[in-house]
Amino acid sequence: MGFPSEGEGEYTPLLAPVMEQKSAEQKQSFKPPADVVSNYRKGLEMHEEGLTGDGIEPATIRTATRIVNGGSVSDEWVRKANRWWGRNERFLSEERDSAAYASAMLWGGAAGRDWYRARYNELERESKDDDISDAVREGLKNKVEEHNEDVGDVASKRTNLRTLTTVFRRGVGAYNTNPGSVRPNVSNADQWAYARVNSYLYALRNGKYRSGKHDTDLLPEGHPMTTRKSAGAELLRKIAYGY
């Protein structure tokens, strides 16, 4: 079966889907613990002192600053950090005033290494769940890449494979357990689940749903319809959507 495009099999719940919302909720981001945050703070201090050299990417500094200010990181960043530690764990053995050691602090130090590794292993275990076929997973992955390329770097409009997989699973669950919400022209669970994914992506891009709301707990911080709240969310919303 081909993957439905945007608008195909439009997701318009006929009845409010209640059952599938609660048990399937998953986090979209990870908040580092205090010891990791402390190392990030030390890394930023060393960077201000000029100890990190010229090879630090701006995104590393931005992420470190966000973490120190109480922010979270995405599963994409967890994977990136785990790769970084795989290449650069030796930096922890360098002199404490060296650029290499300062760089390690900007990735959370030894506590960050261990924390990112544990979170990465969690993501890998989730990605191997056998309730989603390889074909579906590849289709969702393509949707993530196309959507993020379309919306650019606006954080409140971006998504990831973990989130779309959750939306898809909820769609399958709604089809199987809440048939009253399914439109008559939908013939199978995957079709309904893809329609739900397309509806979610539309809301991400446009700041509103075409019809019934769903999965608002998965919308990023700063999105005007998200039910997750945090400091700075209002500012992110105004920047992304202009109101």
Please state, in angstroms and rounded to a whole number, the distance separating the CA atoms of residues 185 and 205: 26
Contacts of 163 (CB under 8 A, 6+ apart): 26, 28, 218
**Alpha-carbon gap, residue 30 to 25, rounded angstroms:** 14
Q: Got the DSSP string for 14-60?
A: SS---HHHHHT---SEE---HHHHHHHHHHHHHHHTT-STT---HHH
Listed residue (45, 139, 42, 25) closest to 92, CA to CA: 42
Query: Quick check: helix, strand or coil at residue 169?
Result: helix
The residue whose two tokens read 């056998």 is: 130
What local confidence, expressed as pLDDT, does residue 232 receive? 53
The residues near 150 (Cβ < 8 Å, ≥ 6 apart) are 205
Tokens 């709240």 sit on residue: 229
Tens-digit pLDDT string for the chain (243 aa): 444 444 444 565 543 343 344 333 344 578 999 999 999 999 999 999 999 877 789 999 999 999 999 999 988 899 999 999 999 999 999 999 999 999 999 999 999 999 999 998 888 776 665 578 889 999 999 999 999 999 998 989 999 998 999 999 998 888 888 777 778 888 888 999 999 999 999 999 999 998 889 999 999 988 999 987 554 555 555 555 554
Cβ 225 vs Cβ 209: under 8 Å: yes
- Of 212, 225, 217, 207, the C-alpha closest to 154 is 207
Report residue 38 as tokens. 């402390």
**What does the DSSP assignment read for 174-223?**
HHHH-GGGS-TT--SHHHHHHHHHHHHHHHHHHSS-SSS---GGGSPTT-
Cα(243)–Cα(237) distance, rounded to whole angstroms? 7
Its pTM stands at 0.50
Task: Yes or no: say if 192 and 15 are a contact pair by the CB < 8 Å rule.
Answer: no
Q: Give dist(CA 215, CA 228) in Å, integer.
A: 11
